[in-house]
Amino acid sequence: MNHSTEQLSRQTDSPQTAAHTISTRSTSLRVLVPFLALFRRQWLMMLVGLILTFTTLLTGIGLLSLSGWFLSAAAVAGLSVATAQAFNFFTPAGGVRFFSIARTASRYGERLATHEATFKLLTQLRVWAWKKLLPLSAANMQGLRKGDLLNRLVADIDTLDHLYLRLLTPLVASFMMIACLFAFLAWFDVGLALSLCSVLLLTWCVLPVVFYLLGNAPGRALIDAKQQYRVMLLDVIQGQAELSLFAANKRYLAKLEQAQIRLFDQQTAMANITGLSQAMLILVNGSAVILMLYLASQGVGDATPPGPLMALMVFATMASLEMMMPIAGAFQHLSSTLLAAQRVTDITEQTPAVTFNEQSTLKASMGALTLHNVHFAYQPQSPILQGVNLTLDAGDKVAILGPTGCGKSSLLSLITREWEAQQGDITLDGHSLSNYSEAELRASITLVSQRIYLLAGTLRENLALALPYQAGEPKKAHDERFISVLQQVGLEELLQGDKPLDMWIGEGGRQLSGGEQRRIGVARALLRDAPLLLLDEPTEGLDKRTERDILSLLLNFAANKTLLMISHRRTALDKMNAVYRLEQGTLQRFYIDR
């Protein structure tokens, strides 16, 4: 069974997918604690963003309040020549200009600071998530599809920016502004200040809870809809060859369109809640304006009639809408933020299923490999390997045959510790694999797998994965060796031009044919000097002549190394010290005519 088929089988057999597990799990605010702890590293920029947000609100309310008072006072002063000449036009006019300029500058600075803090937080979150993911093995990812994993690492972490940008900053800034507004209005009239700020504080406490409850189900449904759509889209893109071959494109595109419609429906639901929250805030603000008109008309402080101070109170009430508007909208995003945090946490808080002895100084030099009574299954009810025994002395060349799905690739996954056997032991140079550090085990093994992973980069960068540069080495330090191995594997046609190693091969090596991609995988193996060479169908997809040439090259390269090859073809078996056949989970010696 090839890797992709095995992975699909494991996902299908899983009792429930990870997405289902998470979507049905209740979340609480405690899930945000690890992310809030990470935010402390950007406290300075976050604080600057908060101060600028507060300054923007302060200057906005100051501008509208002062403008209302100024216009009213100017109108009253114009009722007579004496009051008109005594009225100071310049000071309030200067104040209006100051607030206008300060508001513009603080708004610009607030956008810069909050978004800079957000981008830094997202970068930090992604680095943190990757560090948590690196120790995890395939067993930890069982039942988790690639599209879902990609969705968590990209979309879910992006959703977490709501925590700072749309939750913490608007909440704290508006609360500070309510306190500041009370202090300012109380200077003129404590009763009016208390009335207005009580309404604002009640709105600050009640409406967010209401719209959190309203946005809870649609927010969770929106995250799930995005996840399902992205997973399905990735499946359709990656499976174009198979879908076209089996004439299933239309059926899958119809399913993709249905997923898209569900996503649009959830976005519409969230947009409706956003509109309702804004309408409610406008209604509350309008009611507060009417209330202040009534109360202020009775007098402001000692001023009866209130005169221009009444306009100041009313305009301050109108301006308070700006600081309250983000509140309800912020909490309707809380449910999606909680769910995104839970989905990321469910991956990052896993205990690695395969652990290494990182304190070990063991190094393998001969590549002698032994498997003793190895039992393995992806699911307990479906055993793959049942008591496998195999011994390769240093320098041995051994091949394992078997039909697709018999567990050959699983056997190599155990040797590379991608998976852990449920029973038995595997030793390298006489030491259990669990006694090696991860770095030393990786340095001891060269694997040519069925699927060659190529990155979106140059030919040089993809070869450098097998032969990394040392500190201080120039970028072209290994060019001669790269060119040599490319010539050995028959890729001379890629070496045309002045700078052949700078050729861009595209994402996944899409600029290359399947045969060229496989040859690059072989070239990588030739660049490594590990004592144990594992070949997993190394010539799959190549013609007979090329297959013989590549196997001959690999066997010559492995002349002084231990080699284990799995295949369902019989090419070069006469060069092996021993050949086995994997059937019903056990190895049987297979004899060939030499």
Radius of gyration of the chain (CA): 34
- pLDDT of the residue at 265: 93
Non-local (6+) Cβ contacts of 65 within 8 A are 312, 315, 316, 319
Q: Are residues 276 and 374 in the same domain?
A: no
- pLDDT of the residue at 14: 38
Does residue 525 form part of some domain?
A: yes
Counted domains in the chain: 2
The parent domain of residue 31 ranges over 16-348
Q: Are residues 396 and 325 in the same domain?
A: no
My answer on whether omega of the bond before 208 falls inside 30° of 0, hence cis, is no
Domain boundary among 318, 348, 378: 348
Give me the CATH number covering residue 516.
3.40.50.300
Q: Are residues 234 and 338 in the same domain?
A: yes
| Order of strands across the sheet that contains 532-536 | 445-448, 532-536, 562-567, 397-401, 578-583, 586-589
- Cβ atoms 458, 479 nearer than 8 A: no
Q: Are residues 273 and 221 in the same domain?
A: yes
Q: Per residue of the chain (594 residues), give pLDDT as tens.
A: 344 434 433 443 333 333 333 343 445 778 888 888 888 888 888 899 999 999 999 999 999 988 988 888 888 777 777 777 777 888 888 989 999 999 999 999 999 999 898 888 888 888 888 888 888 888 888 777 777 777 778 878 888 878 888 888 888 999 999 999 999 999 988 999 999 999 999 999 888 888 888 888 888 888 788 888 888 888 888 788 888 888 888 899 999 999 999 999 999 998 898 888 889 999 999 999 999 999 988 888 776 777 788 888 999 999 998 888 888 777 777 877 888 888 888 888 888 888 899 898 888 989 999 999 999 998 888 889 999 999 999 999 999 998 887 888 899 999 999 999 999 999 999 999 999 999 999 999 999 888 888 888 888 899 988 888 777 777 778 888 999 999 988 888 888 878 888 888 887 787 888 788 888 988 999 999 899 999 988 877 777 888 888 888 889 999 899 999 998 777 888 888 999 999 888 898 877 665
Does residue 360 form part of some domain?
A: no
Q: Are residues 75 and 206 in the same domain?
A: yes
Dist. CA 402–CA 585, nearest whole Å:
10
Q: Are residues 343 and 414 in the same domain?
A: no
Dist. CA 270–CA 333, nearest whole Å:
9
- Cβ atoms 541, 454 nearer than 8 A: no
Give me the CATH number covering residue 297.
1.20.1560.10
- pLDDT of the residue at 592: 65
- pLDDT of the residue at 4: 41
Dist. CA 285–CA 290, nearest whole Å:
9
Q: Are residues 89 and 226 in the same domain?
A: yes
SS3 334: helix
Q: What angle do CA 103, 106, 108 make, to 5 degrees?
A: 105
Does residue 30 form part of some domain?
A: yes
Question: CB count, 10 Å around CB of 439?
Answer: 11
Dist. CA 522–CA 91, nearest whole Å:
80
Q: Are residues 219 and 330 in the same domain?
A: yes
Q: Are residues 193 and 273 in the same domain?
A: yes
Rounded alpha-carbon distances, angstroms, from residue 548 to 125, 159, 314, 419, 577? 48, 52, 89, 31, 18
Q: What angle do CA 446, 354, 369 make, to 5 degrees?
A: 40
Does residue 473 form part of some domain?
A: yes
Q: Are residues 327 and 375 in the same domain?
A: no
- Cβ atoms 157, 122 nearer than 8 A: yes
Helix, strand, coil % in the chain, rounded to nearest 5: 65, 10, 25
Domain boundary among 316, 348, 380: 348
Q: Are residues 459 and 525 in the same domain?
A: yes
HEC readout, 295-321: HHHCCECCECCCCHHHHHHHHHHHHHH
Does residue 6 form part of some domain?
A: no
Does residue 359 form part of some domain?
A: no
- pLDDT of the residue at 571: 80
Domain boundary among 289, 317, 348: 348
Does residue 185 form part of some domain?
A: yes
Does residue 362 form part of some domain?
A: no
Question: CB count, 10 Å around CB of 208?
Answer: 21
Q: Are residues 341 and 403 in the same domain?
A: no
- Give the single-character DSSP code of 569: S
Q: In sequence order, which ranges of 137-248 are alpha helices (DSSP H)?
A: 146-151, 157-159, 162, 169-186, 190-238, 240-245
